[in-house]
Amino acid sequence: MSRLLVVEDDETIGTALESSLRLQGYEVSWERTGRGALRRAVGGFDFVLLDLGLPDLDGIEVCRRLRAAMPSAVLVILTARSEEMDVIVGLEAGADDYLTKPVRLRELLARVGAHLRRGPATAANRPAITVGPLRVDLARRRVSLGGEEIFLRAKEFDLLARLAEEPGIAVSRDTLMAEVWDARWYGSTKTLDVHIAALRRKLSSPAEECPAPRISTLRGHGYRLEHPQD
């Protein structure tokens, strides 16, 4: 059974989230403060739903600390529709995804289900992919560039692995959102752009003799991982 942590100070929203997630068969813990959430962060949760507007601590800081404490948990932030910067800062602080308030329960349940179905164990027998000096080890979920390991977050890894499957081939935004995040994607795809930006930063190689594969943006379409010699 998957274990979920809900961090939400609003009683009405928290009650609705807790009861609808329980009805789906998840084991749910509900914390109303950032401090409470951080105390629970050792508890081996599979999934965290984190409201960014908390009464005691800055939600972004809570996000960063939860990510550090639980590297393998799926972390989804909840934010008010108007707070676009929160979304980007939250994704950069370690969130895998976001939902905007007011939360539509059907969307939430679809998203939680999609995240939890995607176990990291599915690629155990697949060989590593290499693109020039880049090596993506699907079984171990490790990435190296010119022999140096690069540390990626879960969704960054999935995204790079998908692009590296077809180097030199354009992959559409819809395909990436569907395969890396959720086939039933409703909202904006800002999540994708933030993860691409993070990957570009991590793939930028300082060594001239080891040019890294680049990720090209194809306006209005998607992204493409380029062979370094192209």
Q: What's the CA dihedral at 67, 70, 72, 75 to 10 degrees? A: -50
Residue 9 or 226 having the CB closest to Ca ion: 9
Which residue type does 119 have? G
Q: How many residues bind Ca ion (CB under 5 A)?
A: 3
Binding mask 100-129 for Ca ion (x = CB under 5 A): ------------------------------
The maximal CA–CA distance of the chain, rounded, in angstroms, is 57
The H or E element containing residue 214 is strand 214-218
Residue nearest to Ca ion (CB): 53
Binding Ca ion by CB under 5 A: which of 29, 33, 35, 53?
A: 53
Residue 52 or 203 having the CB closest to Ca ion: 52
| Residue 83 touching Ca ion (CB under 5 A) | no
Instruction: Report the site for Ca ion in 5-44 (rule: CB under 5 A).
Output: 9
Closest by Cα among 16, 17, 9 to 36: 9
Q: Tokens 């692009």 correspond to what residue?
A: 163
Binding Ca ion by CB under 5 A: which of 51, 96, 158, 182?
A: 51
Residue 75 or 196 having the CB closest to Ca ion: 75
What CA–CA distances, in Å, run from 3 to 38, 45, 157, 204?
A: 16, 5, 23, 36
Residue 51 or 182 having the CB closest to Ca ion: 51
Q: What does the binding site for Ca ion look like in residue numbers (CB under 5 A)? A: 9, 51, 53
